[in-house]
Amino acid sequence: MITFITGNQHKVKEAEEIFQKFNINLEHNDLGYNEVQGTLEDVAKSGAKYACEKLNKPVIVEDAGLFIKALNNFPGTYSSYVQETLGNSGILKLMNDIINPEDRYAEFRSVVGYCAPNSEPEIFLGCVKGQISTEEKGSFGFAYDSIFYVEKKCKTFGELTRKEKSQFSHRKNSLKTFIEWYIENSLE
């Protein structure tokens, strides 16, 4: 049994979707942890260590962000704050002059931090490539989903169901890498 530390119900549902496929039990706890100033990797490592020491059981945390190339990787590690302040309309405004779809390249990055009692945290990376759309589309998902356009689906994340998004999202990729490592290591 692994405990996923998050206060975000969307993340819980997405993770459950992925864990079910591997028959691993996942429980959820929104204990919370201080997000250190730093990279996604720093946040995931320190969050996992903190929660594991607090609960004394194996935990995962996940830290993610949207990195927009034309904006020098903004909002990146500030994604949460920027979503609350500028919001999607603010991001679209910042990108008003960028017409060419290739120049609107963006990626979501996700880092899973895993920590078990008496060991050091491990981290696992996932990423998904896309473009910032020119308008908000779709009402599924959360935060930047409605402006993150995925070319091969011809849809934004906001237009995809949770099941569809969880087949190839940044979170799917980091969690899958973690689960494969976890299975390999718990068989030893």
Which residue number, 73 or 83, has a Cβ lying nearer to ligand IMP? 83
Binding ligand IMP by CB under 6 A: which of 47, 126, 130, 141? 141
Q: State the pairing for strand pair 26-29/2-5.
A: parallel
> How big is the CA angle at 103 (ends 102 and 109), to the nearest 5 degrees?
85
Residue 133 binds ligand IMP (CB under 6 A): no
SS3 131: strand
- Cα 138 to the center of its chain, rounded Å: 19
E strands, the chain, where?
A: 2-5, 26-29, 59-68, 74-75, 105-115, 122-132, 148-150, 155-156
Binding ligand IMP by CB under 6 A: which of 143, 150, 175, 179? 143
Tokens at 142, concatenated: 């959360």
Closest distance between ligand IMP and the C-beta of residue 179, in Å? 18
Closest distance between ligand IMP and the C-beta of residue 187, in Å? 30
Closest distance between ligand IMP and the C-beta of residue 2, in Å? 17
Residue 168 binds ligand IMP (CB under 6 A): no
Binding ligand IMP by CB under 6 A: which of 80, 134, 167, 177? 80
Q: Which of residues 8-27 bind ligand IMP (CB under 6 A)?
A: 8
Question: Annotated catalytic, 63?
Answer: yes
Contact 108, 55 (CB under 8 A): no
Closest distance between ligand IMP and the C-beta of residue 125, in Å? 13
**Residue 46 DSSP label:** H
Distance between CA atoms of residues 157 and 159, nearest Å: 5
Token pair 């049994």 is found at 1
How many chain residues touch ligand IMP (CB under 6 A)? 17
* 175: nearest Cα among 9, 35, 14: 14
Q: Which of 42, 63, 103, 145 is catalytic?
A: 63
Per CB under 6 A, residues contacting ligand IMP are: 8, 62-66, 79-80, 83, 108, 141-145, 157, 171
Instruction: Tell me which residues are annotated as active site.
Output: 63
